[in-house]
């Protein structure tokens, strides 16, 4: 069962609140993979885009099902996008009005990881069109982003999504981590996120631990699957600092 950390835990004493196997993995981590929606960012981008075009309530209910693990992600993604049908102009307009809101402590975590040589990746069921500019603004290389890609025809109209993207399907986040280990030589990788698709990343050959985050949306089923469950990303920052003191 996951251990829930008190929000705002300081670096001092944080190790007393972390399961020993989590502490060990934190010390050895080569890379940390963050979910984006409701984790790296406070927004759930597909719901925000849906609201922008007037179908927010219907799509939000489907997102809840997908994140709770009650339907396959690929089926949910296809159904939601079929309702929204986001054209290129809709996405451009949306981003100009609703830029992503980065979660508190994320800039400090990204900066600290850079200092310590821990690679940061964004592994998301969201969309490159939304995430890539955000990643660039935070110094995260484009090849550190695994997300879905909305397709458009020559007129800029919605034409589906790229089914070859890892995160377009259930189990895709695990596949992304397996790919990272195979291509980057990483031995120890952490997954951080709020949903069932993030928990799936912890599997043989995939993420070594799953840190659940409930600071935006608390999902009991996800908490039960987490190696460590936090309500404040400050706890993750404190844990990284406490396990990298040399």
What amino acid positions are annotated as catalytic residues? 35, 37
> Contact 121/146 with Cβ under 8 angstroms?
yes
Distance CA 99, CA 70 (A): 30
Tell me which residue has tokens 């840190």.
211
Distance CA 222, CA 197 (A): 9
**Helix H or strand E encompassing 190:** strand 189-193
Distance CA 107, CA 15 (A): 22
DSSP state of 202: B
**Which residues 6+ apart lie within 8 Å of 191 measured at CB?**
32, 33, 35, 123, 173, 177, 198, 201, 202, 206, 207, 209, 210, 211
Distance CA 198, CA 187 (A): 19
Q: Where are the alpha helices (DSSP H) in 85-228?
A: 88-97, 106-116, 128-137, 172-184, 196-199, 220-225
Distance, C-alpha 45 to centroid of its chain: 12
Distance CA 40, CA 236 (A): 12
């Amino acid at each position: 069962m996951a251990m829930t950390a008190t929000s705002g835990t300081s670096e001092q004493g944080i190790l007393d609140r972390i399961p020993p196997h989590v502490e060990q993995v934190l010390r050895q981590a080569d890379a940390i993979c963050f979910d984006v929606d409701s984790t790296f960012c406070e927004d759930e981008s597909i719901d925000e885009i849906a609201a922008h075009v007037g179908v927010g309530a219907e799509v939000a209910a489907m997102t809840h099902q997908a994140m709770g693990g009650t339907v396959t992600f690929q089926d949910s993604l296809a159904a939601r996008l079929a309702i929204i049908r986001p054209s290129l102009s809709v996405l451009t307009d949306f981003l100009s009005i609703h830029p992503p809101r980065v979660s508190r402590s994320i800039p400090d975590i990204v900066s600290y990881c850079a200092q310590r040589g821990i690679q940061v990746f964004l592994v998301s069921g969201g969309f490159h069109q939304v995430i890539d500019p955000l990643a660039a603004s935070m110094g995260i290389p484009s090849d550190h982003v695994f997300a879905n890609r909305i397709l458009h025809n020559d007129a800029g109209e919605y034409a589906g999504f790229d089914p070859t993207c890892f995160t377009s399907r259930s189990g895709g986040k695990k596949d992304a981590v397996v790919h990272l280990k195979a291509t980057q030589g990483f031995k120890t990788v952490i997954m951080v996120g709020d949903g069932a698709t993030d928990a799936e990343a912890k599997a043989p050959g995939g993420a070594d631990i799953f840190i659940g985050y409930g600071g935006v949306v608390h999902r009991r089923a996800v908490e039960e699957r987490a190696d460590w469950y936090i309500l404040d990303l400050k706890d993750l920052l404190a844990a990284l600092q406490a396990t990298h003191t040399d």
